């Protein structure tokens, strides 16, 4: 294989960066950022690639303390000094450099880079490919063979020694495979391996050659040749065996060479220019031509960044590093306030402005570090976090129990101030409220969260939203985290049965649509569907879009009443959506506990409503039997039942409250059917007669349509009636509930004057387009501004109810599982259902005092589909 091209270059990244740091004098950017290790590594990398011309390159990293080796020898590397802070900060730069060079980084938690490299080299050899390892020490010489060569740094950053099998034999007079035995005998001070006292390099080689192996020597110490050495072998042989075992690299880690990803493609001069310019690698930059449009295509990032004195433990692999980290965590726990931020797989901690440190989540597996973090995490009363719930989920995945709710969550606070943005990224909050950017340092994220704490609280106080923040949104963060952790049990068999039924329905509908269309086509293609409906069949159309005929629900729904093929298309869409979104997907999302752990989003809607993802449980259709049957798969655990609590007509009740309409308030106080009351008003029904089912249906559409700011035209479309008839209904409605019209007008006037409208708890939603000159934009804003106080207030009351119910149920065997619009789902011990139901009903109905009664209806059953009304007559509420 000698002379064959190098297929795979494997970089021992930590060792090379460490070597570069101590080989070069301290270099910093004009802003004081240390760069000597990053610069030296880049010089080394560019020369290696130029000289060796590898076809593939991979950078291996140590990740965490090597668990298996520490288990064999607890003092492994325990003597090492802590990493210099100026070196810590440069590993983020090194990863950026690798990114520009398109070199993938590979690492496995609890394993060292040596093991990653040995495994990848073995895989390359099994495919007949040469591997070349570049490292800062000699530990990997044991893997040298006809396929694997090792280059080791000797002096500086470019002087390398090359080892093939012959070179290893020349250097040690041993075979590569014998080097762990050799290391076991002589020890290795750099890794705190003692070996056998008095046995140095020459004696170790002599002993291995005499016995053939360490095992043979331990089996027969007389092979040592002298009484003195024999006595040492008998006394310290077990230590030598342990040192040897610790030194053997693993070659069978669960990873594979990503050949396509690792194929080396040189970065463009433009990419290198930006990298070298930003890191101020002046010598390397001078080798490149300045891009002609540098000022526009590659502008310097002059935005001020969040900066401070930061420490990174991302590259921590030695026990002293974890001891230092534990000490910093204990100091942060003792502070009056501290801030946390999750960034990728790392956590940043800051206990004072312009300072902080960061570490990988996996470091929590170390006993001392985990215990120190627990002291910080378990009491959230002094903590600020950004997106505490995501941090909680990440920590839960690493075996960390839930802490208490944080004192502040900067994501939630920022969203309250500007509900049009989710602020999932801390960068967005820092840019908007600190006028600063965040760089690569995870500790800077925690620092930014700490700085934002006071800024956001001050603004919330000015807007009189601190109570909403402290009493509703912050407690809800912890509740949602627990709901996500609990999940809900799912019966896969029920979904499998439904899947087969949906397949049959889809096939039947497809055949019927093809027959009505006069031939096959792709029903899911808007272009093909439009051609069939509006060209071949000549149905009334809704106009063309850039890509073809419009075939949205707003176009097809009116046609479905008169054209069977359109009704079947809509039905086909529903069954296929149910199958592809829920029926076939939910089983794949179940955790090992058989439960579905959906994610609740607290800052994703401008109205304040919660949403859910993976999957979105808010959108399971409930108006069709098929959609409702999806809920049959959601079940209670053994000995338990589901309890569903639903607010009745909450948005209409809120309308009655905030509008002050006497007739609407009186109807709710009397307990009348509000839709029947509305039907009587718009149809002029006398007291002695009852509204028909159709009249009530129309009244319900009018109630909710006007609630959402629907125009006469929109109401006419929804009810399939003439616009003049819809206008007459609207006028009759406002004649019956005159206070509603007055409130709508005053609410819009308030919105035009202040730029926002408010909910009953003070949540704001901003509508700058209320002053727009464009009629369409202004009308759309008016519709949304009319509905926002109702929908937002409903969201506020539901959240407040969740907080109150959660607090009241702490001593009961009951778990809040889901929140779906105006409904809460609990899993309750069967024996406790009456007591829990009474508490839930009481807390929901008393969550906030409206001028009309709040009403919660409760149902219970083994599945979400099969819940039946629970009689509250005999239950003390």
Rounded Cα distance between 174 and 466, Å, is 73
Burial 601-617 (b: 16+ CB within 10 A, else e): bbbebbbbbbbbeebeb
Whether the Cβ atoms of residue 657 and residue 851 lie closer than 8 Å to each other: yes
Residue linked to tokens 């009704």? 567
* 63 three-class SS: strand
Burial 450-464 (b: 16+ CB within 10 A, else e): bbbbebbbebbeeee
Give CA 277 to chain center in angstroms.
Answer: 33
pLDDT at position 41 is 95
* DSSP code, position 193: B
Whether the Cβ atoms of residue 650 and residue 759 lie closer than 8 Å to each other: no
Whether the Cβ atoms of residue 360 and residue 349 lie closer than 8 Å to each other: no
Burial of 772 (0-12, 13-18, 19+ CB in 10 A): middle
Instruction: Tell me how crowded residue 202 is: count the other CB atoms within 10 A of its CB.
Output: 10
How does pLDDT run across 156-191, given as a tens digit for each residue? Answer: 777 889 999 999 999 999 999 999 999 999 999 989
* 567 three-class SS: helix
The answer, yes or no, to whether the previous bond of 376 is cis (omega within 30 of 0) is no
Rounded Cα distance between 540 and 556, Å, is 10
Q: Which of 845, 815, 868 is nearest to 647 (CA)?
A: 845
Burial of 307 (0-12, 13-18, 19+ CB in 10 A): middle
How does pLDDT run across 626-635, given as a tens digit for each residue? Answer: 888 899 999 9
Give CA 444 to chain center in angstroms.
Answer: 19
Q: Which regions in the chain score pLDDT beneath 50?
A: 1-3, 295-301
* DSSP code, position 4: P
pLDDT at position 298 is 39
Rounded Cα distance between 636 and 645, Å, is 15
Cα 521 to Cα 531, 533, 537, 554, 567: the distances in Å are: 10, 11, 14, 22, 17
Residue 135 half-sphere exposure, CB side, CA atoms within 13 Å? Answer: 26
* 361 three-class SS: helix
Instruction: Kindly report the three-state secondary structure assignment for every residue of 135-176.
Output: ECCCHHHHHCCCCEEEEEEEECCCEEEEECHHHHHHHHCCCH
Rounded Cα distance between 587 and 594, Å, is 9
pLDDT at position 480 is 96
Kindly report the pTM of this predicted structure: 0.82
Whether the Cβ atoms of residue 85 and residue 311 lie closer than 8 Å to each other: yes
pLDDT at position 493 is 94
pLDDT at position 8 is 95
Tokens at 246, concatenated:
């610790």
The C-alpha angle 204, 205, 210, rounded to 5 degrees, equals 100
Tokens at 448, concatenated:
């930014």
Residue linked to tokens 């369409």? 776
Q: Which of 438, 441, 444 is nearest to 91 (CA)?
A: 441
Nearby residues of 189 by Cβ (< 8 Å), 6 or more positions away: 79
**φ and ψ at residue 174, rounded to 5 degrees:** -135, 160
Handedness of CA 102, 108, 109, 110 (dihedral sign): negative
pLDDT at position 297 is 39
The C-alpha angle 304, 305, 309, rounded to 5 degrees, equals 130
How does pLDDT run across 792-813, given as a tens digit for each residue? Answer: 999 999 999 999 999 999 999 9
The strand ranges marked E within 468-587 are: 488-490, 544-545, 548-549
Nearby residues of 433 by Cβ (< 8 Å), 6 or more positions away: 414, 452, 455, 456, 459
Q: How does strand 383-386 pair with strand 408-409?
A: parallel
How does pLDDT run across 640-693, given as a tens digit for each residue? Answer: 999 999 999 999 999 999 999 999 999 999 998 889 888 888 888 887 788 888
pLDDT at position 294 is 52
Rounded Cα distance between 403 and 478, Å, is 8
Longest dimension (CA), the chain: 120
Concatenated DSSP letters of 658-713:
HH--HHHHHHHHHT--HHHHHHHHHHT--TTS---HHHHHHHHHHHHHHHTT--HH
pLDDT at position 2 is 45
Q: Which of 89, 125, 175, 91 is nearest to 10 (CA)?
A: 125
């Amino acid at each position: 294989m000698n002379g064959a091209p190098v297929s795979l270059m494997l970089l021992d990244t930590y060792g090379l960066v460490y070597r570069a740091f101590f080989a070069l004098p301290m270099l910093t950017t004009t802003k004081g950022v240390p760069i000597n290790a990053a610069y030296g590594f880049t010089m080394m990398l560019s020369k290696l690639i130029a000289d060796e011309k590898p076809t593939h390159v991979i950078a291996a990293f140590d990740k965490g303390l090597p668990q298996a080796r520490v288990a064999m020898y607890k003092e492994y590397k325990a003597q090492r000094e802590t990493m210099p802070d100026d070196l810590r900060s440069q590993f983020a730069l090194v990863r950026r450099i690798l990114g520009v060079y398109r070199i993938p980084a590979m690492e496995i938690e609890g394993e060292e880079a040596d093991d990653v490299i040995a495994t990848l080299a073995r895989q390359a050899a099994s495919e007949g490919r040469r591997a070349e390892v570049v490292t800062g020490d000699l530990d990997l010489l044991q893997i040298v063979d006809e396929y694997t060569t090792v280059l080791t740094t000797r002096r500086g950053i470019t002087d390398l020694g090359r080892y093939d099998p012959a070179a290893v034999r020349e250097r040690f007079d041993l075979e590569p495979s014998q080097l762990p035995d050799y290391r076991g005998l002589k020890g290795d001070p750099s890794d705190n391996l003692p070996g056998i006292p008095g046995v140095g390099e020459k004696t170790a080689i002599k002993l291995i050659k005499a016995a053939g192996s360490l095992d043979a020597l331990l089996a027969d110490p007389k092979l040592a040749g002298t009484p003195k050495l024999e006595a040492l072998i008998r006394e310290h042989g077990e230590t030598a065996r342990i040192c040897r075992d610790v030194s053997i690299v693993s070659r069978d880690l669960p990873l594979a060479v990503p050949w396509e990803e690792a194929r080396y493609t040189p970065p463009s001069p433009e990419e290198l220019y930006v990298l070298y310019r930003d890191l101020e690698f002046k010598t390397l930059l001078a080798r490149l031509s300045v891009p002609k449009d540098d000022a526009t295509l590659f502008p310097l990032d002059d935005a001020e960044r969040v900066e401070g004195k930061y420490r990174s433990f991302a590259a921590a692999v030695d026990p002293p590093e974890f001891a230092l980290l534990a000490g910093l965590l204990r100091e942060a726990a003792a502070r009056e306030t501290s801030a946390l931020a999750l960034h990728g797989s790392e956590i940043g901690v800051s206990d004072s402005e312009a300072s902080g440190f960061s570490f990988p989540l996996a470091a929590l597996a170390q006993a001392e570090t985990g215990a120190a973090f627990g002291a910080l995490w378990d009491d959230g009363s002094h903590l600020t976090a950004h997106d505490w719930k995501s941090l909680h989920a990440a920590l839960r995945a690493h075996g960390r129990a839930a802490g208490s709710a944080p004192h502040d969550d900067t994501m939630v606070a920022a969203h309250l101030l500007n509900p049009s943005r989710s602020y999932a990224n801390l960068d967005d909050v820092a840019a908007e409220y600190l006028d600063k950017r965040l760089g690569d340092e995870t500790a800077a994220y925690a620092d930014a969260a700490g700085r934002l704490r006071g800024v956001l609280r001050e603004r919330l106080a000015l807007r009189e939203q601190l109570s909403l923040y402290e009493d509703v949104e912050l407690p809800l963060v912890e509740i949602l985290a627990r709901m996500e952790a609990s999940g809900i049990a799912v019966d896969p068999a029920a979904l499998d049965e439904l899947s087969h039924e949906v397949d049959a329905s889809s096939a039947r509908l497809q055949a019927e649509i093809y027959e009505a269309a006069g031939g096959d086509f792709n029903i899911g293609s808007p272009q093909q569907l439009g051609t069939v409906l509006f060209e071949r069949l000549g149905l009334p159309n809704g106009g063309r879009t850039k890509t073809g005929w419009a075939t949205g629900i707003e176009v097809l729904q009116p046609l479905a009443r008169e054209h069977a093929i359109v009704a079947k298309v809509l039905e086909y869409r529903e069954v296929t959506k149910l199958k592809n979104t829920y029926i076939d997907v939910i089983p794949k999302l179940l955790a090992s506990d058989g439960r579905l752990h959906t994610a609740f989003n607290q800052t994703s809607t401008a109205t304040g409503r919660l949403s859910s993802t993976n999957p979105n449980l808010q959108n399971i259709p409930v108006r069709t039997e098929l959609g409702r049957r999806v809920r049959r798969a959601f079940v209670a655990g053994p000995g338990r039942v589901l309890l569903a609590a639903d607010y009745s007509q909450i948005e209409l009740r809120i309308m009655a409250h905030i509008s002050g309409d006497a007739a609407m308030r009186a109807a709710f106080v009397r307990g009348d059917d509000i839709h029947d009351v509305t039907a009587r008003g718009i149809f002029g029904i006398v007291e002695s007669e009852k509204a028909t089912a159709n009249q009530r249906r129309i009244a319900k559409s009018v109630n909710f349509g006007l609630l959402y700011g629907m125009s006469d035209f929109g109401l006419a479309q929804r009810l399939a009636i003439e616009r003049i008839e819809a206008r007459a209904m609207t006028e009759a409605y406002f004649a019956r509930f005159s206070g509603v019209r007055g409130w709508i007008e005053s609410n819009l006037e308030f919105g035009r004057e202040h730029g926002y409208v408010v909910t009953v708890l003070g949540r704001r939603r901003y509508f700058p387009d209320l002053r727009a000159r464009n009629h369409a934009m202004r009308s759309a804003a008016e519709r949304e501004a009319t509905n926002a106080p109702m929908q937002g207030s409903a969201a506020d009351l539901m959240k407040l109810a969740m907080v109150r119910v959660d607090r009241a149920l702490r001593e009961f065997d009951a778990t809040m599982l889901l929140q779906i619009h105006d409904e809460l789902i609990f899993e309750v011990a069967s024996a406790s259902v009456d007591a829990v139901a009474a508490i839930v009903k009481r807390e929901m109905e008393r969550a906030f005092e409206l001028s009309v009664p709040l009403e919660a209806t409760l149902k219970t059953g083994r599945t979400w589909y099969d819940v039946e009304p629970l009689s509250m007559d005999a239950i003390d509420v």
